[in-house]
Structure 1
Amino acid sequence: MSVPPRARPDAGPPGAVSTRARPQVLAEPEWRRRRAQHERRVDGWTGPHLARRRDGIRHPVQDFLFTYYSHRPAQLRRWHPGAGVVLAGADPAEFGDRYEPVDGGAALVAGPLLARRRDTLAWVRDLLVRTAGRPAQFGCFGLHEWAMVYRQTPEQVRHAAWPLRLSSADTDRVVAERGVRCSHFDAFRFFTEPARPLNVLQPTRERQPELEQPGCLHATMDLYKWAYKLSPLVGSDLVADCFALARDVREIDMRASPYDLSALGYRPIPIETPAGRAEYAAAQRAMSDRAAPLRHRLIAACDDLLR
């Protein structure tokens, strides 16, 4: 298994390294620029979601990251430089009670957070390293979403407001004839009871580090989860980069699903056909390629924080 090298003390973006002998100092104009840039970026994602929430409108693609994951829009918007970074000229009160005054500015108080999260850091690092060390598999064709509606009436499915592209009988036939090859526990746990025996694996939470592989769209999407669980010890730029990838993954996920979302502007990827399966596998490979450097950045951050 190939383990990414530990980050050099002078390497990586702010927040990627936490235990420098000399903390990195960000000049006030620089950190203010980065914070404003982050807030503008996140507002582009959260603004439409918050507007829909106020109006009682649900979006099965764009709202998912805010409803399935526990990181709230306000938390995503709040900028942190990461551990080991001094914000020159900053008032700690501007950043919250986890910050303290230091010579020339303010910095995150990392010690108590590290003490509480050391086990989580070690577990996340192990999962990410083991995932990165496996060959990517691209043969599932997104059938996990189909297994979540297998042998259900249209009224029973999770996104009942949206029609299925095929009839219920034809949807069930696709699942039964092709079988399911899902390695991700947090997808598998939403399968209908009749669909679970059709999966070639029976994932559990305990087996997650053993089964997770880098071609899985849900493992790629979960990089966002691992990033925000390490926040504010890692910088918000990394969290936002993982969120941006997760948004694109969710779109592929739902375009390949059994739902007809064409009214929302999403062209289906018809994985029930050979052409659709080829398109899905190509998109899956592209997402896996984009995920690899983010996974390595997270591993490097864990390595440094655990030092």
Structure 2
Amino acid sequence: MQVLTGPDWRARAAAHAARVDAFVEPHLARRAEQVKHPVHDFLFTYYSHRPAQLRRWHPGFGIALEDAEDHAGLKGYSPVRGLVTSAGRPPRPSDAVVAVAEAYVASQRALLGQLHNLLSATAGRTPQFGCFGLHEWAMVHRADQHGTRHDWPLRLGAAGTDAVVESHRIGCSHFDAFRFFTPTAQPLNTLQPGRDDRPAFEQPGCLHAGMDLYKHAFRLTPMISSDLVADCFELARDIRVLDMRAAPYDLADLGFEPVRIETAEGKAAYVEAQRGFAERGAPLRARLVAECDRLLGVVPEPAQNS
């Protein structure tokens, strides 16, 4: 096991915090002023990873931290003995050397297996690029009856939005988007994904599957490096911008030019951006699968009762 000295890991932790603060600090400022942002707040309000959790750096399983009293009480960490630091010396008796414990990894076997299954199934499926972001439109179908999810006007009005939904084929494969469809839009979806059958539906072209790489990464915290979590966060941040630019809302006052998916030109622009995000997401998904493989190999699989 590698051991990082206090100055070494604190420098890495500071760099990580500075990296995510460019997005975290504006969110915290808006929250203090009770100002909502339909695009940039999503990663903090929809997902359960709090800003303070995102800012905290973890090295991942297999790396110990010297002089790390502030990590000693965190989930998954335990003291370790008999190691050599990155400076090439044994830790001093006064040093608090901690690392993510093997016992904690063992306790997460079910989660690791679940995520490995989902991520591998998604990676093995051919990307589909014909949804045109209509999931956001289906969430406000018949807005005069069901209302809208955000306090922003609809770019085409309620009737125009309904016409777009009803004149297109909707094929949303992502349950966590589909579950927000209005009752009148759900029957229009050609797929009916469920909560427990995500591996049968998830596909790598889906914007929400790309954003959820961030969710999968932070659920593996502190077993994986926060650098990978931040990589997935940045992808999710950029995907969310496209998601809402292609949505039915008029966000011009926030500086977002719409992707007019109701037109041929808008559809082409959406597909091009969607392909780019699928390409960015593929290596991140592969890294998460590799981490699940590595962590599943730490402890033996439970013996089966004969």
* TM-score, normalised with respect to structure 2: 0.89
Partner SS for 1:138: coil
Equivalent residue, structure 2, for 1:120: 111
Tell me, which stretches of 5 or more residues in structure 2 are unaligned?
A: 84-90, 298-306
Counterpart of 2:221 in structure 1 is 231
Query: How far is 1:41 from its partner?
Result: 1.0
Q: Distance in 2 between matches of 1:58 and 1:52?
A: 7
Contact 1:84 1:107 in 2 (8 A): no
Tell me the equivalent position of 1:3.
Answer: none
Q: How does 1:33-44 map to 2 (within 5 A)?
A: 33-44=11-22
Does the Cα contact within 8 Å between 2:39 and 2:241 map onto a contact in 1?
yes
1:235 Cα offset (Å):
0.8
Deviations 1:248-268 (A, max 9, x none): 000000000000111101110
After superposition, the C-alpha distances for 1:136-183 in whole angstroms (9 at most, x for unaligned) are 000000000000000112981011x21111021111011001031100
On the 8 A contact 1:91/1:101 being kept in 2, the answer is no
- Between 229-238 and 103-112, the greater mean CA deviation after superposition: 103-112
- Ranked by relative contact order (alpha carbons within 8 Å, sequence separation 6 or more), the top structure is 1
Matched residue, 1:268: 258
1:126-275 equivalent positions in 2, closer than 5 A: 126-153=117-144, 156-159=147-150, 161-275=151-265
- Counterpart of 2:67 in structure 1: which amino acid? A
How far residue 29 of structure 1 moved from its aligned partner, in angstroms, is 3.7
- Structure 1 residues not aligned, in runs of 5+: 1-22
Counterpart in 1 of 2:278? 288
Separation in 2 of the partners of 1:92 and 1:99? 11
Determine the structure 2 residue equivalent to 1:17.
none
Counterpart of 2:304?
A: none
What root-mean-square deviation, in Å, do the aligned CA atoms of Structure 1 and Structure 2 show?
1.5
2:301 is matched with: none
Q: TM-score scaled to structure 1, two decimals?
A: 0.89
Equivalenced residue count is: 283
1:77 to 12, 35, 55: 55
Give the percent of matched residue pairs that are identical in Structure 1 and Structure 2: 57
| Structure 2 contact 131–170 (Cα < 8 Å) conserved | yes
Structure 2: how far apart are the matches of 1:222 and 1:108?
A: 27
Tell whether the 8 Å contact from 2:174 to 2:206 is kept in structure 1 after alignment: yes
CA gap of 1:180–1:163, structure 2 versus 1, over 3 A, is same
Report what 1:96 is aligned to.
73
- Structure 2 residue matching 1:222: 3-state secondary structure: helix
Q: Give the ranges of 4+ consecutive aligned residues of structure 1 lying more than 6 Å apart after TM superposition.
A: none
